[in-house]
Amino acid sequence: MLRAAARALVALTAALGATGGALAGAIGDKVFEIEAQFGSQPGQVIERLRPLEAGARAGDTDDLRIFLAAWGYAHASIDKPSVAEAAVEELTDLGERLHDPAALASAYTLKAAMLSFSGQVRAAFGWVESALPLADKVPSPDLQYWVDMMAADMATSNGHLDEGVRMYEAAVVAARRGRNPRREAQAYLGLVPLHIVKGQLGVALRQAALVRELGARTTDPSLRISSWVLEALAADAQGDTRRSERARREAQNATLAALVEAPAGPQVPVNSQAGGDGWMGTEVDALLTLSALHQSAGNFGAARDLALRARTQAQAQNDDAHLAVALVNIGLADIRMGHIQQGMALANDGLARMGSRKRDAELLIQLNRYVAALERSGETSESWLRLRDALMLETELARRDRRSTVIELQRESSFQQRQRELDQLEHQNALQAAEIGRRAMERTLSLLLAAAMGLGGVVAWRLYLRARKANRQLALNNEALEFASHHDAVTGLLNRRAMEAHTTALHGQPYCNVSISVKQFGLIVGSVGHQQGDQLLCQIAGRLDAVARRHDATLYRVDGVTFGAIFRCAEGDTQRVRTVLQALAEAMEVPFEVGNQDLIVSIGAGAAHCPTDAPTAHEVARLAELAKLRTHAEPGNTHVLYDARIGESQHDKLHMEARMAKALEQGGFELYYQGQRSMADGRFCGFEALLRWHDGGKMVSPAQFIPLAEESGLIVRIGAWVLQQGCQQAKAWADAGFGAVKVAVNISPRQFNHPDFLATVRRTLQATGVDPAQIELEITEGSVMDAAEASIAQLHALRELGLQLSIDDFGTGYASLSYLRRFPLTRLKIDRSFVSQLGASAQDDTIVRTVIGLAHGLGLAVTAEGVETPAQEAMLQSWHCDVVQGFLHSRPAPAATATQLLVAEREALLQAAEA
């Protein structure tokens, strides 16, 4: 997995919204300094930030925001999530109260960092995606850099390498804007492994050199080391042994030099996801990073090879920590390649080693990855088992963290939110203490009881009674504590924990989650004072609760000024949702009376539905919050129902991606065929294969899912399936005596550029036994323009296999005909947008006519797409266009329908011959 996130620690601190110079106050500047010096050592950062807290709280919002983000991030990276969580809450509160996008962006990015540090990279992606548009609103290169880096990390960890590249590149730009060579180097450092994985080794080598060049302008030796390590691996991949050996030597020298200069002092263990000094500082570490990247990109073979190399090196160096991770990586790759048993054995071995080394945060990360891999391979029972382990470990880590954090929290100011958190912690600790006490007592009593049996019945009986009484009392106490732990002390409402328990207990029944915030509560409290603030909050809670009860909903106080409501609700019943939201808003219309003032309060509410909007309680809650955020821009009581546009978020994408992967395995895809008619004899000479997805009863258009499949890389597998089906169908038609009917198959850019593409084509041709001349690959200009030379070679190879090659959507891209001359093509397809304008635009007429003439001059056949009217067809015919395709003669339809077309044609021909 990638750990660039943490390298951004650097950024973060600065980022936290201040833009340097004018905006950064005295505190901001100090944080900058700390960042520059101790960026990769969170322990040091915390020590130096501590004395700044009082000043930050007394200063302006920028100061506080900078401080909180740095403070939270540093704690998150040494696995102290409680403090980080408190910072997230305070930042959110700050952002909501003051409508400060920088504070919200910081809150979400910090939240994403925390999640990623425990291996929950999917959830993390969702949060950082919410931060991106907010960061765009702030003219701060610091904040932008942090968010971009985080987004880049999370994108790559989720397998979206191209998006990762884009975001790292954006981070480069932000770093440059902020004139910070160290950050720029770190952003490049994120890019290098991606380019290696994508096989763009030249770029990787150039950027590794850039890292060094920029690194030389900083005092950070780790940049130098990492860049040499990566250069060695890139050179390896290129087969340039001399270069890789030299790079390895340089890496060693740089490591030695850094050791000599290293500052002495206590080292705090840093979460592996948070990077720190060691990130990619050794070859083993870099190999594992590359392996994880390949794994998330779906290149399981490569992932396995690299992990095997890492294992060998780790063994040779007696490096148990990396050995364990290597074993897990090999195991995960095996599982995804279908060697389930072998993979599970290896992964379990690795996990057990981690467990025995007490590296629990690392173990949690790897457990979560393991669970994800098992889920994807359909190993449900083992994945559930391991998920339970992961959850238990997470709870245990949280508990340990809380115990040590409680003291720290006590020392801090009694900011209301914190106070509540503290209360809850006390409840929990009391519960645990009581439980432990009860067990101990039971044990003692039963020992005594056993001993007393020997003394005589009376004594024993008395002891027994006493034990029962004590136990009853304890049970009562526990009930009271149990109540306290599910209720909010200020309003008496159920609390967040109760809400979570409730949604779990719904067991998949459809329900709606509403998130409600009081707008500008901070300002109101500022004017009436804290005590009255609590009173007001209670009154608000009372009114909301009354409305909720009237509508069979349950109200919760989630935290601070946020309430939540849960109610059962059928899928698609938006009317009910709106009624409830409307009623909640109406409850605010009458002013509140506090002290002897009338106060007007507005709420913003967001609603999301389970399972319509998302399948899990956790995600639905997040979507409801996202929807609620939309309400804050407008004054007054407002509400927003979550819809897909809001959630253009990654979660939906991931969801869709998962469904596509499933469809691929379970036959959810089908090929439709659209006839292509030859102008020479008016007969169907071929069909274009067009993909259709039957997604739970509805038919999804390829325009909707191909782009996502392309982005996620799934297109490679889908495309292989399409090719195989298309070849089979062509062969079936030939076998049925229809002659060499052609089948045109669309090839996406990512598929075309995949290293295995040629091999896949060759294998498919062999396996299906189709005559290659029947198959035409439709390639877009975009596929071949990027790496023109390599593409030309591949196109030649495809032609040598006997395939036809056409260029699709001609006229929409940037290729010129003279450019195309260099490609060994057989056909050109004129895009629909030109054809539809025929007769309407003289200019388009000329273009189409000229293109047909020039194409013929280059020896290419021409197909016109999207022919809908006889008039269009007539014009095309007069210009000697070879083939027309469009709704005029044939709409895309299942294979059986296409076959009927061929049958009808053959019969008509036979009749004509007889007559």
User: Where does this chain bind ligand C2E (CB under 6 A)?
Assistant: 674, 690-691, 701-703, 706, 719, 722, 746, 748, 808-809, 832, 865-868, 886-887, 892
Q: Toward ligand C2E, which CB reaches closer, 168 or 810?
A: 810
What are residue 492's phi and psi, to 5 degrees? Answer: 80, 0
Q: Does 184 bind Ca ion (CB under 5 A)?
A: no
Q: Tell which residue, 335, 327, 376, 328, has the closest CA to residue 158.
A: 376
Q: Which of ligand C2E, Ca ion, none is residue 135 near (CB under 5 to 8 Å by kind)?
A: none
Q: Which of ligand C2E, Ca ion, none is residue 868 near (CB under 5 to 8 Å by kind)?
A: ligand C2E
Q: Which of ligand C2E, Ca ion, none is residue 719 near (CB under 5 to 8 Å by kind)?
A: ligand C2E
β-bridge pairing 603-610 and 597-599 = unpaired
Q: Toward Ca ion, which CB reaches closer, 517 or 746?
A: 746
Q: Are 300 and 30 in contact (CB under 8 A)?
A: no
Q: Which of Ca ion, ligand C2E, none is residue 701 near (CB under 5 to 8 Å by kind)?
A: ligand C2E
Distance in Å, CB of 740 to ligand C2E, minimum: 21
Distance in Å, CB of 297 to Ca ion, minimum: 26
How far, in Å, CA of 758 to CA of 783, rounded?
A: 14
Distance in Å, CB of 671 to ligand C2E, minimum: 7
How far, in Å, CA of 228 to CA of 217, rounded?
A: 16
Contact region for Ca ion (CB under 5 A) — 162-170, 567-575, 649-657, 774-782? 774-782
What are the beta bridge partners of residue 513? 566, 608
Q: Which of Ca ion, ligand C2E, none is residue 866 near (CB under 5 to 8 Å by kind)?
A: ligand C2E
Q: Toward Ca ion, which CB reaches closer, 428 or 806?
A: 806
How far, in Å, CA of 131 to CA of 144, rounded?
A: 10
How far, in Å, CA of 54 to CA of 38, rounded?
A: 21
How far, in Å, CA of 421 to CA of 436, rounded?
A: 22
Q: Tell which residue, 655, 780, 683, 694, has the closest CA to residue 740.
A: 683
- Map tokens 């979550």 to a residue: 642
Q: Residue 299: which residues within 8 A CB-CB, separation 6 or more?
A: 197
Q: Toward Ca ion, which CB reaches closer, 11 or 706?
A: 706
Distance in Å, CB of 785 to Ca ion, minimum: 17
Q: Toward ligand C2E, which CB reaches closer, 557 or 742?
A: 742
Distance in Å, CB of 869 to ligand C2E, minimum: 9
Residue 115 in tokens? 């999640």
Q: Does 776 bind Ca ion (CB under 5 A)?
A: no
Q: Toward ligand C2E, which CB reaches closer, 178 or 866?
A: 866
Q: What is the largest CA-CA distance in the chain?
A: 119
Q: Which of ligand C2E, Ca ion, none is residue 892 near (CB under 5 to 8 Å by kind)?
A: ligand C2E
Q: Which of Ca ion, ligand C2E, none is residue 255 near (CB under 5 to 8 Å by kind)?
A: none
Q: Toward ligand C2E, which CB reaches closer, 703 or 840?
A: 703
Residue 864 in tokens? 């016109």
Q: Which of Ca ion, ligand C2E, none is residue 540 near (CB under 5 to 8 Å by kind)?
A: none
How far, in Å, CA of 530 to CA of 528, rounded?
A: 7
Q: Does 882 bind Ca ion (CB under 5 A)?
A: no
For 611-646, letters b (16+ CB in 10 Å) and e give: ebbbeebbbbbbbbbbbbbbbbeeeebbbbbbeeeb
Q: Toward Ca ion, which CB reaches closer, 320 or 809?
A: 809
Distance in Å, CB of 745 to ligand C2E, minimum: 7
DSSP 554-622: EEEEEETTEEEEEEE--TT-HHHHHHHHHHHHHTTSSPEEETTEEE---EEEEEEEETTT-SSHHHHHH
Distance in Å, CB of 809 to Ca ion, minimum: 4
Distance in Å, CB of 278 to ligand C2E, minimum: 42
Distance in Å, CB of 715 to ligand C2E, minimum: 6
First-to-last CA distance in the chain?
73
Q: Toward Ca ion, which CB reaches closer, 503 or 806?
A: 806
For 487-501, letters b (16+ CB in 10 Å) and e give: bbebbebbbbbbbbe
Q: Toward ligand C2E, which CB reaches closer, 819 or 887?
A: 887
Q: Toward ligand C2E, which CB reaches closer, 173 or 708?
A: 708
Q: Which of ligand C2E, Ca ion, none is residue 886 near (CB under 5 to 8 Å by kind)?
A: ligand C2E
Q: Which of ligand C2E, Ca ion, none is residue 691 near (CB under 5 to 8 Å by kind)?
A: ligand C2E
Distance in Å, CB of 702 to ligand C2E, minimum: 4
Q: Report the SS3 class of residue 687.
A: strand
Q: Toward ligand C2E, which CB reaches closer, 706 or 727?
A: 706
Q: Which of Ca ion, ligand C2E, none is residue 703 near (CB under 5 to 8 Å by kind)?
A: ligand C2E
Distance in Å, CB of 829 to ligand C2E, minimum: 8
Q: Which of residues 699-758 bind Ca ion (CB under 5 A)?
A: 746
Distance in Å, CB of 203 to Ca ion, minimum: 30
Q: Toward Ca ion, which CB reaches closer, 643 or 809?
A: 809
Q: Tell which residue, 122, 555, 118, 535, has the closest CA to residue 360.
A: 118
Exposure of 611 in the CB half-sphere (CA atoms within 13 A): 8
Distance in Å, CB of 867 to ligand C2E, minimum: 6
Distance in Å, CB of 720 to ligand C2E, minimum: 11
How far is CA 646 from its chain centroid? 16
Q: Which of Ca ion, ligand C2E, none is residue 702 near (CB under 5 to 8 Å by kind)?
A: ligand C2E
Q: Toward ligand C2E, which CB reaches closer, 617 or 743?
A: 743
Q: Which of Ca ion, ligand C2E, none is residue 748 near (CB under 5 to 8 Å by kind)?
A: ligand C2E
Q: Toward ligand C2E, which CB reaches closer, 627 or 747?
A: 747
Q: Toward ligand C2E, which CB reaches closer, 255 or 748?
A: 748
What are the beta bridge partners of residue 840? none
Centre a 10 Å sphere on the Cβ of residue 785 and count the other Cβ atoms it contains.
14
How far, in Å, CA of 256 to CA of 249, rounded?
A: 11
Q: Site size for Ca ion, by CB under 5 A?
A: 4
DSSP 233-289: HHHHHHT-HHHHHHHHHHHHHHHHHHHHHPPPS------GGG--TTTT-SHHHHHHH
Amino acid, single-letter form, for residue 1 = M
Distance in Å, CB of 705 to ligand C2E, minimum: 9
How far, in Å, CA of 432 to CA of 420, rounded?
A: 18
Distance in Å, CB of 778 to Ca ion, minimum: 4
Q: Which of Ca ion, ligand C2E, none is residue 414 near (CB under 5 to 8 Å by kind)?
A: none
Q: Which of residues 793-812 bind Ca ion (CB under 5 A)?
A: 808-809
Q: Residue 626: which residues within 8 A CB-CB, separation 6 or more?
A: 130, 606, 608, 642, 646, 647, 649
Exposure of 627 in the CB half-sphere (CA atoms within 13 A): 27
Q: Toward ligand C2E, which CB reaches closer, 178 or 886?
A: 886
How far, in Å, CA of 727 to CA of 207, rounded?
A: 42
The single residue among 184, 778, 873, 882 that binds Ca ion, judged by CB under 5 A, is 778
Residue 101 in tokens? 């996008």
DSSP 859-874: T-EEEE----SHHHHH
Q: Which of Ca ion, ligand C2E, none is residue 509 near (CB under 5 to 8 Å by kind)?
A: none
- The residue with its CB nearest to ligand C2E is 886
Q: For helices 617-631 and 121-136, what crossing angle results, to 10°?
A: 10
Distance in Å, CB of 801 to ligand C2E, minimum: 19
Chain contacts with Ca ion (rule: CB under 5 A): 746, 778, 808-809
